[in-house]
Chains A and B, each alone.
Chain A
Amino acid sequence: MPEPVIHTEKLSKRFGSFTAVDEISFSVSAGEIFGFLGANGAGKTTAMKMLTGLLAPTSGQATVAGFDVYRQSEEIKRNIGYMSQRFSLYDDLTPRENIRFFGGIYGLGKAEITAKCDQMLESLELVKVRDSRLSSLPLGWKQKLAFSVALLHEPKLVFLDEPTGGVDPVTRRRFWDLIYKAASDGITVFVTTHYMDEAEYCDRVSIMVDGKIAALDTPEALKGSFGTATMNDLFIKLARPAIRSGE
């Protein structure tokens, strides 16, 4: 068993008297697609912020890519990719400029950026529109680009925060092909989503309720042990009794 890419032990975050994340413990191993589910307000975003080094935990232990979240947040940031909700890139820049900018931010060399840029535009079939502003491109293309940009500096691990929100089913399916490809290249994928069909695509999923992890296993095993036919039923069964309702 290789060293897990993410490992947490009773990781907690409190804001005053409010416990956003309550002693969560789990491990994610290399090359795994890990689905991180939960209703709005369940504490997903807070947990993710701690794992990406944006937020210091209140208590508990966690290592990401082998680095400690308390002391080595800079090293963590250098070794992870991140794609935020709404797959944000700069709308008023062209695909090429976006790639070059983020390449520069990630500290890649000039020659490396140029090579990566060409290769990426090629593989995403964006060569024709490389000099059009992003705002003029279809959502699905932007999404692909945002994902590739998150992988620009070849991280071991990539965090995807609701990467498919507001996108049609066909485009979502295509996007998952990209995720599978990344995983087969050995990149660990940590993904949050509200789409339960996507949860089925994950190797393992965890479901957060009220700041705690209420269930964690492969989709098949979860459905079996909770006796539900679909992930959707399972999610509703677990999330409905939640005290903290959605936003």
Chain B
Amino acid sequence: MKRFIGFVRKEFFHIMRDRRTAAILFGMPILQLLLFGFAIRNEITEVRTGILDLSHDVVTQELTDKIFSSGTFVASGVLNNGKETGPAFASGKMNEVVVFESGFAGNLQRDGTAQMQVITDGSDPNVSRIITGYTESVVREFLVEKAESTGTAQGVEAVPVMMFNSALKSVYLFVPGLMAMILMLVSALMTSISITREKESGTMELLLVSSLKPVQVIIGKVVPYLLLSFVNVITVLALAFLVFGVPCRGSIALLLGESLLFIMTALSLGILISSITNSQQVAMMISLAGLLMPTVLLSGFIFPITSMPLPLQVISNIIPARWYLVIVRGIMLKGAGIGVLWQETLVLVFMSLLFMTVSVRKFSERLQ
């Protein structure tokens, strides 16, 4: 036990003395969270909107006023004909143009329908989709009000309610993903680097000749990162709550427990990586390309898994972060308990055991 404590203390010395390591370990989680929370937002504000009114009647005027009074849209000019649309988008002056057909009010009166066109900048499809949605809802609202005032209210209206995140804040979405990413980075990347560093410097041999068992060496290398990762989880959660008001609706204890499980999975991946290579560089490449990229791209962190093509959906199943994300979102945003999340939990348990078994076997194999 004394040997073990000495080992762990040495590992902390390494971490604290290497400024880059310390910066990655402590600075990155905070920086990432603030970046994702403040800079990267899906909510759209200040849509620069141009109006091309071919009708110039009372209704189009009312509708235009309605659009600009919603707060989301900013009037950025009036167009006189369709030819001006292209240049307006190209110069970035507008990112939406609303076109009213000629005789708008008359058509509406006579046929009950009138055409308006919403043109958006397709070079950023996500933003376009959101802007279009906003515009549609404004128009819908306008029609309902109008119908009510004339007493001809009729038809079906779908009123959307966003469960668990009624304001559709993107930071709610990012925090769980960010936790997965940071834990992957700290646990897997840092562990694999720190083990391969001992191999590169030759100190690993020294440790192994010193009657420490390989398993003891591994545990000694891993425990500090386990502790640090756990500190990171708490930091991210606290920051998310204090700065961005992200709630934890479920049990915090469960969330921490599941995070610990995910850390174990990531750590065993880190050990696995370090058992198949002897160089820090290779370990870093494998960790970044093989772990971090899939964690960001295929786990459902940024892109929804359901909209991926089938092969990628299948691949996403072997990415630990995919399961951890479901768990974290479940607990934090939906207040789910273990009764709902036991399957995901089991997947992570299974993955950890698998990676650990393989890596311990690999590790002793290489010594033979």
Contacts and interface: CB of A to CB of B under 8 A. Distances in A.
A78 B201 contact: no
Nearest to B212: A105
Interface of B is mostly: helix
Given A56-B368, A100-B6, A106 B210 contact: yes
Given A77-B210, A90-B10, A105-B212, A55 B203 contact: no
A85 interface: yes
B201 A91 contact: yes
A201 interface: no
- Residue from the set B203, B211, B212, B368 with the largest chain A CB neighbour count within 10 Å: B211
Contacts of A77: 209-211
Interface string A63-91: 00000000000100110101011101111
Contacts of B205: 54, 82, 84, 88
Contacts of B368: 55-56
B367 interface: yes
A104 interface: yes
B110 interface: no
Interface string B1-36: 011001100100110011000000000000000000
Contact of B3 (A84, A86, A88, A105): A105
Contacts of A101: 6-7, 10
A148 interface: no
B202 A104 contact: no
A97 B209 contact: no
A88 B209 contact: no
Contacts of B203: 84, 88-90
A82 B13 contact: no
A55 B367 contact: yes
- Residue from the set A53, A54, A74, A101 with the largest chain B CB neighbour count within 10 Å: A101
Interface residues of B, number: 22
Contacts of B206: 82, 84, 88-89, 102
Nearest to B209: A82
Contacts of A192: none
A104 B206 CA distance: 13
B17 A88 contact: no
A105 B207 CA distance: 8
A8 B3 CA distance: 32
Contacts of A233: none
Interface residues of A, number: 30
B208 A102 contact: no
A107 B202 contact: no
A78 B211 contact: yes
A198 B36 CA distance: 61
B6 A80 contact: no
A56 B364 CA distance: 12
Contacts of A105: 3, 6-7, 207, 210, 212
A144 interface: no
B6 A92 contact: no
Contacts of A85: 202
A80 B206 CA distance: 11
A116 interface: no
A183 interface: no
Interface in A21-58: 52-56
A84 B206 CA distance: 7
Contacts of B14: 90, 92-93
Nearest to A53: B209
A133 interface: yes
Contacts of B7: 101, 104-105
A93 B10 contact: yes
Contacts of B201: 86, 88, 90-91
A189 to B, nearest CB: 16
Nearest to B205: A84
A92 B209 contact: no
Contacts of B202: 84-86, 88
A107 B17 CA distance: 25
Nearest to A133: B17
- Residue from the set A55, A77, A85, A104 with the largest chain B CB neighbour count within 10 Å: A104
Interface string B108-134: 000000000000000000000000000
A211 B50 CA distance: 84
Contacts of B207: 105
A88 to B, nearest CB: 3
Contact of A97 (B2, B3, B10, B18): B10
Interface string A115-130: 0000000000000000
Given A74-B211, A104-B2, A105-B207, 17 more contacts: A77-B211, A82-B205, A82-B209, A84-B202, A84-B203, A84-B206, A88-B201, A88-B202, A88-B205, A90-B14, A90-B203, A93-B10, A93-B13, A97-B10, A104-B3, A106-B210, A110-B2
8 contacts: A55-B367, A77-B210, A88-B201, A90-B10, A90-B13, A101-B7, A102-B206, A104-B2
Interface of A: 52-56, 74, 77-78, 80, 82, 84-86, 88-93, 97, 100-102, 104-107, 110, 133, 159
